[in-house]
């Protein structure tokens, strides 16, 4: 080899090795997720908590079980059994009620009226018939479900749906088109795919709107009088939720395979991240002592704590509560069905105010239920097979004070209960259409 080629050749070999190594390490590293086992072979207990029941009547508790499958082969359906443990208010001990199988396959137990009179705590322990047991809520007696007895309530007939007669917004904050640019927001869609837009938004104490643009892995900050600001954030899942606390910290529920709560400073710097104790979650809200996450299958509110480090999964389960803690010492309780919506403000085991909503139309989901003045502000969907609308209800202690309808404007999907936020006396709505999104504002009036 000629001497003049020696150094270039050495450099060539060294460069090739370095380039190949860097790429290989990065690609393999990026594509090797840490295995996270989120379910053992037990399966999952299914139950919708009763939460609110008429006083002096027996209360039926109903359960089902989805069986985990041990291997990729045809297996028999498991044969679950179990018992509910019930502790009436005023009692210190739980008593056992065996679950009975109903003709429809559900497992039920009936709490006698005497035990339910002042309300009761309960949890279930189920065996899947394969020698595996589990409880729901997972912490059992340490953090059980609760049923509040309704001695008296205000019945409100909210009327039938009136599709197409929605109120116009008081103002529209800003529009963003679909895309990745500075004045755009991400849309995950395509042929034969769901249309997922920004999952959630919230309103910061200074009036800024913070959007979770999870498709582009960033937060979008809309500040009055300035253009959109973007902050890249770590986000693993496809959807999530977001809440801003009184200090301006941004708490993001990342619905990854195992959900996480990530906390960021006002400018988007990461503060903390903590895994959630349960496998599914849909809402994050700010309580008096930090973020609260509504999780499944328990439907309990899991606190992640006011400071650093956040509460780990065990502490979340041990301090979970069936009511969402809100300002003023109230707990907010919601139990809705297609035929009726029950709402209550509670203090501990006592019901302060309760409402029972009826309509000639089918109820959909309760999008928002917040204490408002001496009552509540509620947003609930009304629907039939072809149409839908949101009805906004301002409830006083004994009557319906105000109502108006809002068009759904849900061309793109957001997190299921993150389309509305209330700040002061202003209701905010995240709206989407084929061109992009906007934030609509509705002035409610009255005193928050």
Partner 1 sequence: MRRGLATGLLAGLVLGLLVVGTPASAYHTRFQWGCNDTYFNHDPVTRANARDYAFVAAAEGYQWAGGCWNGNNVDDSPGDPVEDPNTLGEGGDCSGFTFKSWWERAETGDPWFRYHAWMQNVHGPYAAADFKYGTGAPNTTVAKANTVYMDAFASTYHIGMIYWANTAYNQDRIIEAKCEACGTGTWPRTYRGNPDYSGARRLYWAG
| Maximum pairwise Cα distance, the chain | 101
Residue closer to partner 1, measured from CB, 248 or 364: 364
Residue closer to partner 1, measured from CB, 305 or 414: 414
Compute the least distance from the CB of residue 217 to partner 1, in Å. 9
Residue closer to partner 1, measured from CB, 222 or 430: 430
Q: Are 345 and 308 in contact (CB under 8 A)?
A: no
Alpha carbon 445 to its chain centroid, in Å, reads: 27
Residue whose entry in the numeric block shows the structure tokens 């989805």: 66
Compute the least distance from the CB of residue 222 to partner 1, in Å. 24
Residue closer to partner 1, measured from CB, 51 or 243: 51
Computed over its alpha carbons, how large is the radius of gyration of the chain? Answer: 25
Q: Are 289 and 305 in contact (CB under 8 A)?
A: yes
Cα–Cα dist 275/311, whole Å: 9
Report the DSSP pairing between strands 324-325 and 301-303: unpaired
327: exposed, middle or buried (C-beta count within 10 Å: 0-12, 13-18, 19+)? exposed
Residue closer to partner 1, measured from CB, 105 or 329: 105
What is residue 169's DSSP assignment? P
Q: Are 157 and 179 in contact (CB under 8 A)?
A: no
Residue closer to partner 1, measured from CB, 27 or 246: 27
Selection from 297, 252, 256, 330 nearest residue 136 by Cα? 297
Joined tokens for residue 137: 């809520």
Q: List alpha helices for 289-431, DSSP H.
A: 313-318
Joined tokens for residue 390: 């949101």
273: exposed, middle or buried (C-beta count within 10 Å: 0-12, 13-18, 19+)? middle
Helix/strand/coil percent split, the chain, to 5: 10, 45, 45
Compute the least distance from the CB of residue 381 to partner 1, in Å. 5
Residue closer to partner 1, measured from CB, 48 or 265: 48
Residue closer to partner 1, measured from CB, 16 or 172: 16
- Which residues are bridge partners to 229 per DSSP? 221
What is the CA angle 386-390-376, rounded to 5? 150
Compute the least distance from the CB of residue 163 to partner 1, in Å. 10
Compute the least distance from the CB of residue 420 to partner 1, in Å. 12
Residue closer to partner 1, measured from CB, 183 or 387: 387
Q: Are 56 and 99 in contact (CB under 8 A)?
A: no
Compute the least distance from the CB of residue 93 to partner 1, in Å. 27
Joined tokens for residue 176: 């963003």
Compute the least distance from the CB of residue 445 to partner 1, in Å. 26
- Which residues are bridge partners to 440 per DSSP? 172, 429
Compute the least distance from the CB of residue 352 to partner 1, in Å. 19
Residue closer to partner 1, measured from CB, 165 or 269: 165
Compute the least distance from the CB of residue 205 to partner 1, in Å. 26
Compute the least distance from the CB of residue 102 to partner 1, in Å. 13
């Amino acid at each position: 080899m000629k001497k003049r080629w020696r150094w270039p050749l050495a450099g060539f070999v060294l460069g090739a090795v370095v380039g190949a190594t860097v790429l290989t390490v990065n690609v393999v590293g990026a594509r090797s997720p840490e295995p996270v086992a989120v379910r053992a072979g037990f399966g999952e207990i299914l139950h919708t908590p009763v939460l609110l029941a008429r006083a002096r009547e027996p209360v039926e508790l109903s359960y089902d079980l989805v069986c985990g499958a041990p291997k990729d082969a045809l297996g028999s359906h498991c044969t679950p059994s179990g018992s509910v443990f019930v502790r009436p208010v005023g009692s210190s001990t739980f008593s056992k009620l065996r679950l009975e199988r109903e003709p429809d396959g559900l497992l039920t137990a009936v709490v006698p009226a005497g035990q339910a009179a002042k309300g009761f705590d309960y949890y279930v322990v189920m065996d899947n018939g394969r020698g595996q047991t589990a409880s729901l809520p997972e912490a059992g007696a340490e953090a059980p479900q609760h049923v509040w007895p309704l001695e008296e309530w205000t019945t409100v007939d909210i009327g039938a749906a009136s599709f197409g007669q929605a109120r116009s917004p008081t103002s529209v904050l800003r529009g963003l088109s679909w895309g990745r640019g500075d004045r755009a927001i991400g849309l995950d869609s395509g042929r034969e795919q769901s249309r997922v837009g920004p999952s959630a938004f919230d309103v910061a104490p200074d009036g800024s709107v913070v959007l979770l643009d999870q498709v582009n892995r960033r937060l979008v900050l809309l500040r009055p009088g300035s253009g959109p600001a973007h902050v890249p954030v770590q986000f693993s899942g496809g959807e999530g939720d977001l809440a801003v606390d009184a200090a301006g910290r941004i708490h993001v529920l990342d619905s990854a395979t195992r959900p996480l709560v990530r906390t960021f400073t006002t400018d988007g710097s990461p503060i903390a991240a903590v895994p959630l104790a349960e496998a599914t979650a849909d809402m994050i809200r700010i309580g008096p002592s930090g973020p609260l996450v509504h999780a499944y299958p328990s439907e309990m509110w899991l606190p992640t704590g006011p400071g650093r480090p956040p509460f780990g999964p065990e502490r979340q389960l041990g301090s979970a509560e069936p009511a969402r803690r809100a300002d003023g010492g109230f707990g907010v309780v919601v139990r809705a069905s297609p035929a009726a919506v029950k709402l209550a403000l509670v203090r501990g085991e006592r019901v302060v105010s309760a409402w029972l909503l009826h309509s000639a139309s089918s109820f959909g989901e309760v999008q928002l239920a917040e204490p408002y003045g001496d009552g509540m502000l509620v947003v609930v969907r009304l629907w039939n097979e072809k149409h839908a609308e949101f009805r906004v209800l301002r409830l006083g202690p004994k009557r319906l004070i105000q109502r108006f309808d809002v068009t759904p404007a849900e061309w793109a999907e957001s997190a299921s209960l993150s389309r509305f936020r209330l700040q002061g006396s202003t209701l905010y709505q995240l709206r989407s259409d084929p061109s992009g999104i906007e934030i609509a504002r509705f002035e409610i009036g009255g005193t928050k």
